[in-house]
Structure 1
Amino acid sequence: MTYVLRAASIDDLDALYDLSKLTGGGFTNLPADRKVLGERLERSDASFAREGEVPDDDLYIFMLEDTETGAIRGTCQIFGRVGSTQPFYSYRLSTTTQHSAELDQTFRNQLLSLCNDLEGSSEVGGLFLHPAARAGGLGLLLARARYLFIKQHRPRFGDKLLAELRGVIDEGGHSHFWDAIAGRFFGMTFPEADAFNAVHGTQFIADLMPKTPIYVSLLPEAARAVIGQPHPSGRAAMRMLENEGLKYDHYLDIFDGGPTVVGDTDDVRTVKESDWYQLDGTLGDAKGEKMIVATGRLKDFRACHAMAEIDGDQIYMDEASIAALDVENGDRVLAIGRRL
C-alpha cells in the first residue's frame, strides 16, 4: 500500500469535512464547518496558483491519499506568513524579580503578556490523521513533507517557522486556562470561542482581551498546571517538532495555553539535511533505505515514502514510489532519510 501527499483541491471538500468531524474539537485549523473548509480550500488553490516568490498571506493545504483506493487518510497545512491580515496573538511567559530590603527577601513572579512577537513567521499546522491510519510512519510523512515543500519554495516563506500545539482540554471540551483568563472577558465558553475563532479569526481578541500582563500566581491551580503543556494526543507531534529543531520559547496559545514552538526556517533539520537527486532508474536487488521523497512545484507537489538508494547525486527508487510521484528517469527529486 502506497500513500502520497499532494496538494488539496476543491474536490477534497467532502473528505476534508469527514476528517474534521474526527478531531474532537479544539482544532482551529480544521473546523467541522463545510462552508469554512470550502473557503479555505479556495484560498489554498489561490495560494498554489499565486505568482511571485515572496512570503504572503498564503495557506497551503495537503491531502494524504491511498494510491490504490483513492481514500483520503490525512491532511496538513502550511501558512506562508502569519499576521498579514489579522494580528497574530500569543502569550509570552516571562519572569519578573522584585526584592524587598526591609524583608530581605526576593520574589520571582511569572507574567503572561499579550504580544505579536511572531508576526511575519511561517507556520506549520493542521496535521491530522484518520484514526485507522495512525501507523507505518504516516504522521512523520505528513510532518516532514511540509518542510520539503518549504525548501522547494523557500522564497515564499519567512525566516522563522512556528507551530502551535493544542493545549490541555477536558473530556467535555473545556479549557481551565481559558476559563481562568479570557473566559472572564468574552462571555463565552472555550468551545464557543474556539469555534468562533476558527470561522472569524482573531480580531475579537484584539477588541476584548485585556492588554495588561497577568500574574500567573493569581490563576487557579488547574489553569497554572496546563500552561505550556500540549494535549496528551499532541505529545508525539511535539517530539517530532523538537527533533526538527523547533523549541518552546515561552510562547503560549491565548485560548488554551498550549505551547508554541519556534525555530529558524533554514535550521529546521529536514530543510537543512534534505538534498536534490536525479532519478536514474528503479531499485535493483539492493533493498535500499526508507526515505521521504518529494517532487513537483506548487500544485504539482507530491511526496511519499520510498525505498531508495543514493549514489552520488543519483537516486534509485522502488517502482511503486516512482509511480506515486509520477516521475521518470532524469527528473529531480528532493529526498531525506526517514529517521529523525
Structure 2
Amino acid sequence: MTFRIRAARDEDLQPLYEMAKLTGGGFTNLPPDRPSLKAKLDKSHAAFAKTDDTLADELFVLVLENAQTGEVRGTCQIFTHVGQHYPFYSYRIGTLTQHSKELGRTFRADQLSLTTDLEGCSEVGGLFLHPGERAGGLGMLLARSRYMFIAQHRARFADRILAELRGVIDEAGGSPFWDGLAGRFFGMNFQDADQFNAIHGHQFIADLFPKHPIYIAMLPENARAAIGLPHPSGRAAMRMLEIEGFSFDKYIDIFDGGPTMTAPTDKVNTIANVRPARLIAIDGDGGEPVLVAAGRLGDFHCAYGKLRAVGDGVAIDRACATALGLIEGDNLAWVARY
C-alpha cells in the first residue's frame, strides 16, 4: 500500500472535518468547524495559485492520501509568514534576579512575558494522522513532506521556522495551564477559548491578556508543572522536531503552555540535505530508502520510495513513480529516510 502527500482540494473538506473531530481539543490549526476549515482551504488554494516566489502571509494545506483508494488519512499545514495581519503571541520564560545586601541573599524568580518575538517566522503545524494509520512511518512522511515543500519553494519562506506543540490537556479536555493563568482573565474555559481562537483569531488576546510579566511561582502547582511540556500524544512529534534540528528556546503557547520549537530554516536537516536529480529509470531493483518529491505548488507530491544512482541520474521503484506520476526524464528531489 502506497501513500502520497499532495495539495489539499475542495473535496477534502469532509475528511478534514472528520479528522478534526478526532483531535481531542487544543488543536487550533484543525478546528472541528466547517466554515473555518473551508476558509483554510480557500487560503491554501490562493497560495498554490500564486506563482511569483515572494514572501507573503500564505497558508499551504497538504493531505496524506492512499494512492490506491484515494482516501485521505492525514494532513499538515505550512504558514509562510506568521504575525502579519494579527500579532503572533507567545509567552517567553525569563528570569528576574534580585539581591538584598541586608539579607545577604539573591532571589531568582521565573517569569512569563507576553511577546511577539516570533513574528515573521514561517510555521509548520496542523499535523494530524488518522489513528488507524499510525504505523509504517506515515507520521514522519507527513512531517518531512513540509520541509521537502519548503526546500522546493525556498523563496516563499522566512529564514526562521517554528512549530507549536499541543500542551498538556486533562481527561476532561481542559488545560491546567489555561485554568491557572489566562482563564482567570477571560471568564471562559479552555475549550471555548481554543475554539474561539481557531475561528476568530488572536485579537481577543491583545484586548484582554495581562501585559505585565507573570511570576510562575504564583501559579497553581498543576499549571506550573504543565509549562513547556507537550501533550503525551505529541512526544513523538517533539522527537521528530529535535531530529530535524529544532530546539526549545523558552517560548510556550499562551493557551495550553505547550513548547514552541524553533530552528533556522536552512539548517533544518531535511531542507539542508535535499538533493535534486533526474529520473533515468523506473525499475524494481531496489535501492536506498528515501523520500521523493516532485512537482511545484499544486502539483507537488511526496512519497516514500527506493532510489539508486544510475549514470548521471537516479532510478526509483515503480510504486513510487506511479504514486508521484513520474516518467523517465522527469526531475525530482530526494532525501534519505530515517
Show structure 2 runs of 5+ residues with no match: none
User: What amino acid maps onto 1:93 in structure 2?
Assistant: I
Report deviation, 1:328: 1.1
Q: Distance in 2 between matches of 1:167 and 1:17?
A: 22
TM-score calculated relative to the size of structure 1: 0.98
Report deviation, 1:283: 3.3
User: What amino acid maps onto 1:275 in structure 2?
Assistant: R
| Cross-structure match for 1:322 | 321
| Cross-structure match for 1:171 | 171
| Cross-structure match for 2:19 | 19
| Cross-structure match for 1:213 | 213
- Higher mean displacement: 47-56 or 85-94: 47-56
- Higher mean displacement: 240-249 or 312-321: 312-321
Q: Which runs of structure 2 are paired with 1:197-212 in the superposition (5 Å)? A: 197-212=197-212
Report deviation, 1:51: 3.3
Q: Structure 2 vs 1, CA of residues 312 and 179 (structure 1 numbering), >3 Å: closer, same or farther?
A: farther
Q: Distance in 1 between matches of 2:97 and 2:243?
A: 33
Q: Distance in 1 between matches of 2:114 and 2:231?
A: 22
Q: Structure 2 vs 1, CA of residues 24 and 271 (structure 1 numbering), >3 Å: closer, same or farther?
A: same
- Higher mean displacement: 304-313 or 42-51: 304-313
1:152 correspondence with 2:156: no
Report deviation, 1:311: 4.4
Q: Distance in 2 between matches of 1:20 and 1:313?
A: 45
Aligned partners of 1:61 and 1:78 also within 8 Å:
yes
1:296 correspondence with 2:295: yes
| Cross-structure match for 1:277 | 277
User: What amino acid maps onto 1:84 in structure 2?
Assistant: Q
Q: Distance in 1 between matches of 2:198 and 2:244?
A: 27
| Cross-structure match for 1:264 | 264
Aligned partners of 2:226 and 2:257 also within 8 Å:
yes
TM-score calculated relative to the size of structure 2: 0.98
Q: Structure 2 vs 1, CA of residues 171 and 313 (structure 1 numbering), >3 Å: closer, same or farther?
A: farther
User: What amino acid maps onto 2:49 in structure 1?
Assistant: A
Aligned partners of 1:283 and 1:309 also within 8 Å:
no
Aligned partners of 2:284 and 2:318 also within 8 Å:
no
Report deviation, 1:182: 0.7
| Cross-structure match for 2:41 | 41
- Higher mean displacement: 48-57 or 196-205: 48-57
Show structure 1 runs of 5+ residues with no match: none
| Cross-structure match for 1:115 | 115
Q: Which runs of 4+ in 1 moved over 4 A?
A: none
Q: Which runs of structure 2 are paired with 1:32-71 in the superposition (5 Å)? A: 32-71=32-71
SS state at 2:226 partner: coil
Q: Deviations over 1:115-158 (max 9, x none)?
A: 00000000000000011100000000000010010010000000
1:334 correspondence with 2:322: no
User: What amino acid maps onto 2:316 in structure 1?
Assistant: M
Aligned partners of 1:309 and 1:315 also within 8 Å:
yes
| Cross-structure match for 2:143 | 143
| Cross-structure match for 2:77 | 77
User: What amino acid maps onto 1:50 in structure 2?
Assistant: K
SS state at 1:68 partner: coil
Q: Distance in 1 between matches of 2:35 and 2:326?
A: 35
Report deviation, 1:52: 2.1
Report deviation, 1:310: 2.9
Q: Distance in 2 between matches of 1:26 and 1:243?
A: 24
Report deviation, 1:333: 0.7
- Higher mean displacement: 20-29 or 50-59: 50-59
SS state at 1:43 partner: helix
Report deviation, 1:195: 0.3
Matched residues, number? 338
Aligned partners of 1:283 and 1:308 also within 8 Å:
no
Q: Deviations over 1:60-82 (max 9, x none)?
A: 00011101111111000000110
Aligned partners of 1:283 and 1:319 also within 8 Å:
yes
Aligned partners of 1:78 and 1:122 also within 8 Å:
yes
Q: Deviations over 1:221-240 (max 9, x none)?
A: 11000100000000000000
